[in-house]
A and B are shown apart, each in its own frame.
Chain A
Amino acid sequence: MFAMTNRPDGSWLMSGRLDAGAAEQARSTLGAISDTCRLDCSELDYIASVGLGLLAATQKRLLDRGSELILTNLSPHLREVFQLSGFESVFRLE
Chain B
Amino acid sequence: MNDLLAIGLDPVTRILIALGPILLLVGAFYLLDSHRLVSPRQLLQALLAGGVCAGAGFVLNNLLLRLSGLSLLAFAIMVAPVVEELLKAAFGAWLVRTGRVGFLIDAALLGFATGAGFALVENIYYLNMLARSDLLVWSVRGLGTAVMHGGTTAIFTVIYFGITRGRGDRRPGVAALAVAILLHGLFNRFLVHPLWTTAVAILVVPPLLAVAYRVGEHRLQNWLGTGMDRDLKLLRLIRSGEVGSSPLGRYLQELRSRLGPARAVDAFCLLRLQAELNLVVQGGLLLRQNGLKAELPAEVGEKMVESSRLQRSLGPTGRLALRQVSPWDGGHPWQLRKLEQWRQEIPS
A residues lining the B interface (CB < 8 Å): 19-20, 46-50, 52-53, 56-57, 59-60, 63, 76-77, 80-81, 83-90
Contacts and interface: CB of A to CB of B under 8 A. Distances in A.
18 contacts: A20-B225, A46-B232, A48-B232, A52-B286, A57-B290, A60-B291, A60-B292, A63-B292, A81-B232, A83-B297, A84-B276, A84-B297, A85-B279, A85-B287, A86-B280, A86-B294, A86-B297, A89-B295
Contact of A86 (B235, B239, B287, B291): B287
Interface in B65-109: none
Nearest to B277: A84
B228 A49 contact: yes
Contacts of B276: 84
Interface centre among B239, B279, B283 (most CB of A within 10 A): B283
Contacts, number: 76
Interface of B: 224-225, 228-229, 232, 235-236, 239, 276, 279-280, 282-284, 286-287, 289-292, 294-297
Contacts of A76: 239
Contact of B236 (A46, A63, A84, A86): A46
B235 A80 contact: yes
B294 A77 contact: no
B229 A48 contact: yes
Contacts of B224: 49, 53
B294 to A, nearest CB: 3
B286 A56 contact: yes
B236 A77 contact: yes
- 7 shortest A-B CB distances, which residue pairs? A85-B283, A86-B294, A49-B228, A89-B295, A56-B290, A84-B279, A86-B283
B232 A86 contact: no
Contacts of A49: 224-225, 228-229, 232, 282, 286
Contacts of B280: 84-86
A44 B286 CA distance: 21
